[in-house]
């Protein structure tokens, strides 16, 4: 929850990105706005958490990878769904696409930069418990974590125990910490998210994320698994920018006046 009563919240704040599949394009818009207008928000964060697609955004920001690569990644993932067989089409290789667009651009010391600051939500298969990974012994280990996030059938991560996507058990890691600023592409109670259509609304909680029950969110949830046309994806990205800008404007005390 947001605790932005002036500039003091900046001293020890954390950031968390909810898992959201193809709706992750929303984060490209939101974070590009923040990096453009108030980069300290990202640079001074104590921890940057993420689940599923949100973990990719968290890594990109933690490691300083250009956002354009993340945007290309999402566009590359959209194309296979246009085939009749979608992700079952013979030409589709999820891991290869993730590696080509993002993982190959990890700096050699990525694991050093990520350790202690990046937090990735994983689910341990043996007992279906959530594990928040924030220490990485090597660049290869960091890459293995992201193979686990993006594909449930990879080789076991780090040990004989098998891990899968953390969204299954905690889709908004670190949300309970007092000074965590939360991002979500679904209208609800997150700090940076689409505005709710009404003040009094019904909502559901899914693995720590609040989602308003309305037709707009139904469309967004559907788009999580089945990406809309490129024009609609571009609009989702633009909406992320606008929602982040609104957040900065509403919490502008202690923030540069040009926000």
In a domain, 68, yes or no: yes
pLDDT per residue over 146-160, tens digit each?
777 765 444 444 443
Residue 165 annotated among the catalytic residues of the structure: yes
Q: Which of 16, 32, 52, 223 is catalytic?
A: 52
Confidence band for 97, pLDDT divided at 50, 70 and 90: low
pLDDT value at 7 more than 70: no
pLDDT value at 198 more than 70: no
In a domain, 259, yes or no: no
Confidence band for 173, pLDDT divided at 50, 70 and 90: very high
The whole domain housing 197 covers 13-249
pLDDT per residue over 200-248, tens digit each?
567 777 667 778 888 888 889 888 888 888 889 899 999 999 999 999 9
Q: How far apart are CA 127 and CA 161, in angstroms?
A: 10
Q: How far apart are CA 15 and CA 193, in angstroms?
A: 13
Mean pLDDT of 75-94: 54
Residue 137 annotated among the catalytic residues of the structure: no
Rounded alpha-carbon distances, angstroms, from residue 203 to 146, 181, 198, 209: 30, 20, 11, 10
Residue labelled with tokens 């689910």: 123
Q: Which of 32, 121, 165, 191 is catalytic?
A: 165
Burial of 64 (0-12, 13-18, 19+ CB in 10 A): exposed
**How many structural domains is the chain composed of?**
1
In a domain, 255, yes or no: no
């Amino acid at each position: 929850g947001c605790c932005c009563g002036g500039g003091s919240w900046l001293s020890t704040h954390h950031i968390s990105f909810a898992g959201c599949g193809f709706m992750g394009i929303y984060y490209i818009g939101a974070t590009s706005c923040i990096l453009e207008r108030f980069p300290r928000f990202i640079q001074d964060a104590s921890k940057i958490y993420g689940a599923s697609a949100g973990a990719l955004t968290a890594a990109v920001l933690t490691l300083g990878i250009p956002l354009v690569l993340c945007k290309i990644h999402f566009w590359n993932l959209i194309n296979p769904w246009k085939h009749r067989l979608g992700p079952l089409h013979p030409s589709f290789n999820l891991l290869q696409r993730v590696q080509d667009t993002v993982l190959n651009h990890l700096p050699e010391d990525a694991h050093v930069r990520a350790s202690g600051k990046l937090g990735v939500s994983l689910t341990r298969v043996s007992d279906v418990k959530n594990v928040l990974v924030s220490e990485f012994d090597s660049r290869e280990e960091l890459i293995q974590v992201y193979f686990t996030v993006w594909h449930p059938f990879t080789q076991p991560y780090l040990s004989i125990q098998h891990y899968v996507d953390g969204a299954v058990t905690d889709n908004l890691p670190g949300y309970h910490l007092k000074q965590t600023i939360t991002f979500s592409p679904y209208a609800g109670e997150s700090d940076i998210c689409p505005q709710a259509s009404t003040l009094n609304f019904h909502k559901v909680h899914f693995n720590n994320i609040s989602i308003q029950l309305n037709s707009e969110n139904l469309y967004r949830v559907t788009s999580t698994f089945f990406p809309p046309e490129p024009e609609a994806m571009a609009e989702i990205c633009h909406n992320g920018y606008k929602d982040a800008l609104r957040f900065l404007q509403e919490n502008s005390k202690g923030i540069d006046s040009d926000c």
